[in-house]
A and B are shown apart, each in its own frame.
Chain A
Amino acid sequence: MPEQLIFAMEVFLNGLMAGVLYALVALGFVLIYKASGIFNYAQGVMALFAALTLVGIMEGQVPFSHLINAALGTDIHHFGWHVPGFVAILLTMGVMVILAWLVQKVVFRHLVGQEPIILFMATIGLAYFLEGFGDLMWGSEIKTMNVGLPQGMNLAIDEVTYGIFGYGFFIDNLDIVATVIAALLVVALVIFAQYTKQGRAMRAVADDHQAALSVGISLNFIWVMVWSVAGFVALVAGIMWGTKSGVQFSLSLIALKALPVLMLGGFTSIPGAIVGGLIIGVGEKLFEFAIGPMVGGATENWFAYVLALIFLVFRPQGLFGEKIIERV
């Protein structure tokens, strides 16, 4: 087998793994958009905030320590204990649920029935608030996250591929874990949306508020629930990205990469978010591999957006989005 093709295969696999992470962020967008028609610009920041909170709790960091120290003249930064990863994840989930409740109570309850653009603006505000709040609460230095996920090259794959091609593929264990978790998450979400009472209620609310009220569904409850689920997805994405490249504020920028993913997959489709993420991940890695050297590299920065642009021209509803039907 030609060497180039073997390299391309490795790049392809790595692209799939990267795509899974994009898909995880996109999934959070889709959930909220489906249930409330809100395009949540803050989804990326929610992932950052979740990651910050998780690390903060694990390390026993004192929240708002800068603020407390400045106000009281003390010098405390750590409680001096370490919380095991599993417990910290549960606590962080609690924080995300409280956040969901607050977001609904303070912001979106007052904006029911407003234009989508106004709701979108509110989420931009939310994004900046949350970024600043996270900074204030946990500090802005880059932190490493270690919740016990395996990392480093997968030796088995290396050996097997070496046996077949005479060249060992480098696949990160973390990427494999991320893929498995993402797959489980998608299956769980689809089961939730299609087969449970709450999922049916969520789809009902997404479709028609008045009708949902008339069958006894509380809109507020459903919205808090959806934001909580989106918070959970953000937490998973935050853990994956944080473990991979450290918990830093540029994490919130991955939200921007989720945009082309959504344009490909469609804003309302859970499977679409996954497929879109994979296409973008594989596409940008292969493009960089094949075309990158000819144009001086760094194509990964713009490839996804150009692909999204092409999609917008030819299939604006995305691959899996609801068909746009216009009746005259």
Chain B
Amino acid sequence: MSTQESYVTDDGRTIGPTVMEMKNITLRFGGVNAITDISFDIREGEIRAIIGPNGAGKSSMLNVISGFYVPQEGEVWYKGAKRPQMKPYEVAQQGIARTFQNIALFEGMSVLDNVMTGRIRQMNAGLLSQALWKGKAQKEEVENREVVEKIIDFLEIQAIRKTPVGRLPYGLKKRVELARALAAEPSILLLDEPMAGMNVEEKEDMSRFVLDVNDEFGTTIALIEHDMGVVMDLSDRVVVMDYGKKIGDGTPDEVRNNQAVIDAYLGVAHD
């Protein structure tokens, strides 16, 4: 990489070296190329956005990062090492947490239980000590609960802690899903359209939470978003995709003035 040195942003956050790098990723479904030869990197502590029109391959890209899709070509480098082919749960255990475009929560479980599942990676006590609520298990559970309560507090969902998730409105479900992903204390947090289907107020709330999470915990965030205004406000750097190809990469200002990006979003006259 060209820019490996840490630097400090205008608002005082430190952006570290590259934590994840996608190298020449190509993903095909049958004969269709969902992603064609895309490379980009994610640096520690930054908010990295992936944008593009519908069907550009943004979600596919996120699914490649989180291990749900296996690309036919290309390499994923994580923390300086090439990542072997992995199952999604193994990727999660490595510290990459995610949310889903269509929300994937445990509907029958309470908000608290949902968020606690995010801590599974941090629980190692034996079955017997867990069942007897003794020693390591007790200490662990208390510690994990502390982290979870802090996150619940942070995302302002204390009032619904004991409510089964199935009963919650859409906007709150999105927030609970974010809480669960955060509970894992991830190295990278992947957000698939965190503001999709929200009204203006909810969008503002969610934007604030994303910024606060990044600011407070220093979490590296990669997010997909449709709303250009939101993306430009939130992110440090932006990757632009169209028809599975990368057409732009840089700071929001650079991307905004990129002719290929303008064409993709506004359409271009073919003569």
Contacts and interface: CB of A to CB of B under 8 A. Distances in A.
A, B in one complex: yes
Interface stretch (A146-154, A191-199, A241-249, A282-290): A191-199
B106 interface: yes
Contacts of B118: 215
A226 to B, nearest CB: 14
B133 interface: yes
Interface stretch (A19-27, A205-213, A251-259): A205-213
A198 to B, nearest CB: 6
B108 A215 contact: no
B138 to A, nearest CB: 11
B190 to A, nearest CB: 9
A4 interface: no
B79 interface: no
Given A191-B131, A216-B92, A216-B93, A211 B120 contact: no
Given A207-B108, A208-B105, A214 B120 contact: no
14 contacts: A201-B120, A203-B113, A204-B109, A211-B100, A211-B104, A212-B89, A212-B106, A215-B92, A215-B117, A215-B121, A216-B120, A217-B89, A217-B120, A218-B87
B116 interface: yes
Contacts of B68: 210, 213
Contacts of B207: none
Nearest to B118: A215
Query: Dominant SS at the A interface?
Result: helix
Size range of the interface on A?
20 to 34
Nearest to B166: A325
Interface in B80-137: 87-90, 92-93, 97-98, 100, 104-109, 113, 116-118, 120-121, 123, 125, 127, 130-131, 133
A207 B184 contact: no
A188 interface: yes
B66 interface: yes
Contact of B127 (A198, A210, A211, A214): A198
Given A195-B131, A207-B109, A219 B89 contact: yes
Contact of A200 (B92, B100, B116, B181): B116
Contacts of B93: 216
A213 B89 contact: yes
* Most chain B CB within a 10 A radius of its CB, from A188, A197, A198, A200: A197
A19 B179 CA distance: 44
Contacts of A218: 87, 89
Contacts of A217: 89, 117, 120
B43 interface: no
B223 to A, nearest CB: 15
Contacts of A204: 106, 109, 117
Nearest to A207: B106
A200 to B, nearest CB: 6
Nearest to A268: B108
Contacts of B48: none
Contacts of B123: 197
Question: Which 4 interchain pairs have the tightest Cβ spacing?
Answer: A216-B92, A211-B104, A207-B106, A213-B88
A159 interface: no
A233 to B, nearest CB: 16
Contacts of B245: none
B97 A214 contact: yes
A201 B121 CA distance: 11
A211 B90 CA distance: 13
A322 B121 CA distance: 29
Contacts of A216: 89-90, 92-93, 120-121, 184
A103 B116 CA distance: 30
Interface string B177-209: 000110010000000000000000000000000
Nearest to A209: B104
B239 to A, nearest CB: 22
Contacts of A201: 117, 120
B120 A210 contact: no
